[in-house]
Amino acid sequence: MITIEIRKELKSGVIELAILALLVRREMYGYELSQKILDLSSGQIEVKEGTLYPILYRLEERGIITSRWQAPLGRGKPRKYYYVTGKGRQYFAGYRKEWNVVVEFMCKILE
């Protein structure tokens, strides 16, 4: 498996959609999200901290997700768990449709 660096222009928008796709299924905390995305992409899509947290804050500010602090069962730093609101689920559905339009278009243009 050869890992190539994905240019940030291609990540634009996609990372937010990916985060929402994960949070729609179950609540997760920031660090967990970044690791999950790295895993699911076989190490090819890395979400930097300076990207991840600002995305979570703006989504929360817009009422798309909410959060709660939770101390881990064992020891360690407290974690901030995020989950998608009702409004957020609608937002996600629309976002997903736009993504599908883009993908269909690109499939056509790339043969």
Partner DNA sequence: AATAATACCTAGTAGCACAAAGTATATAGA
Partner DNA sequence: TCTATATACTTTGTGCTACTAGGTATTATT
Give residues in contact with its own copies (CB under 8 A): 4-7, 9-14, 16-18, 21-22, 37, 40-41, 44-45, 94-99, 101-103, 105-106, 108-110
Q: Is 26 in the site for DNA (CB under 7 A)?
A: no
**Out of 4, 25, 42, 50, which residue is the one contacting DNA (CB under 7 A)?**
50
Min separation Cβ 12 and its own copies, Å = 4
Longest dimension (CA), the chain: 53
Cα atoms in the 13 Å half-sphere on the side-chain side of 16: 19
Q: Binding of DNA at residue 54 (CB under 7 A)? A: yes
Alpha helices by DSSP H, listed for 28-85, are: 30-40, 49-61
Q: How many CB atoms neighbour CB 84 within 10 A?
A: 23
